[in-house]
Amino acid sequence: MTIPSDLPAWVAILTSVLVLLGAGLTLIGVIGLLRLKTFYARVHAPTLGTTLGIGCVLLASMLYFSAVESRPVLHEILIAIFVTITTPISLMLLVSAALRRDWTEGDPSVPRPPDLPSGDETP
Amino acid sequence: MTRFFPYPFLSAFLLGMWLLLNQSLSPGHVLLGCIVGIAGSLAISTLQIPTGRVHRPLAMLRLAFIVLFDIIRSNIAVTRIILSPSRTAQSGFLSVNLDLRNEYALAILACMLTSTPGTVWVNFDSRKGVLLLHVLDLVDEQTWIDLIKTRYERLLMEIFE
């Protein structure tokens, strides 16, 4: 990819800062995934990358391509919307699966399941 | 009207998505986007999902800004927890009694809490209205309960109920 020479300096600086910030936050999230101890604590770490991390990268992309093509480029908003909708759902599914497993195994560190009548598994 | 627009929000969203994807506001794409919007919401209407009603759109906007602010704030907090080598986070489960019953409001609350770093929606007992959360930095339980009850739940109840 070639960078046009007439790109204003403030766009170049702001874009690099935003990209580095987003990538840094995602990296911290990955480190957290590695460092935190329990499964439930680990679920928290990737959300750094999927909220502010991706937000910064998308802002940088919008800024850079709007400057290069000298028209507003906004379709990155769609990525933000779909990531915001889908990530919590997959995280909730993972946590629910872990919780059901721990309930069946009788793990004492997990809160007891609500008393359900006759094994009715309504969530 | 309701025959062609069973879900007006979904139709408007699909139209917006179509225009953004094609990066164009030409009449042809507006027309195609309208067709996509109407066809999409008609297809969804065969699932017979109950429609929700937003009573206060401005409160919705306020909620969006509150959530954005909280996400930035908790990003910083979680970054601090992960990067400080000495500090071991006191993570744990937290039960909150919710008065909220609207399904759409609960879904939005679930997405909000889970996408905010530091809190994950674990389980909701719909009979008793007890929400089970996992919190990464559970130092003071009452602060978290107050945050959810006064900051999110009250606004969501204003919007949906």
pLDDT tens readout for residues A18-38: 999 999 999 999 998 888 888
pLDDT per residue rounded down to tens, chain B (161 residues): 567 777 888 899 999 999 999 888 899 999 999 999 999 988 888 888 777 777 888 888 999 999 999 999 999 988 988 888 766 667 888 888 988 888 888 988 999 999 888 899 998 888 888 899 999 888 888 888 988 888 898 889 888 87
Q: What's the pTM?
A: 0.83
CA distance B146 to B150: 6
Model pLDDT, residue A107: 81
Is ipTM strictly over 0.85? no
Given the structure tokens 């915001």, which residue do they identify? A84
Both structure tokens of B21: 């994807």
User: Per CB distance under 8 Å, which residues of A are interface residues toward B?
Assistant: 25, 28-29, 31-32, 35-36, 38, 40-41, 43-45, 47-48, 50-52, 73-75, 77-78, 84-85, 87-89, 91-92, 95-96, 99, 110-111, 114, 122-123
Q: Identify the residue among A28, A47, A94 best suited for mutation to test binding to B, counting B beta carbons within 10 A and taking the highest.
A: A47
Which residues face B124 on adjacent strands?
Answer: B131
Q: How confident is the model at residue A116 (pLDDT cuts 50, 70, 90)?
A: low
Quick one: pLDDT at residue A117?
A: 46
The reply to whether B110 touches chain A by the CB within 8 Å rule is yes
Rg (CA), chain A: 21
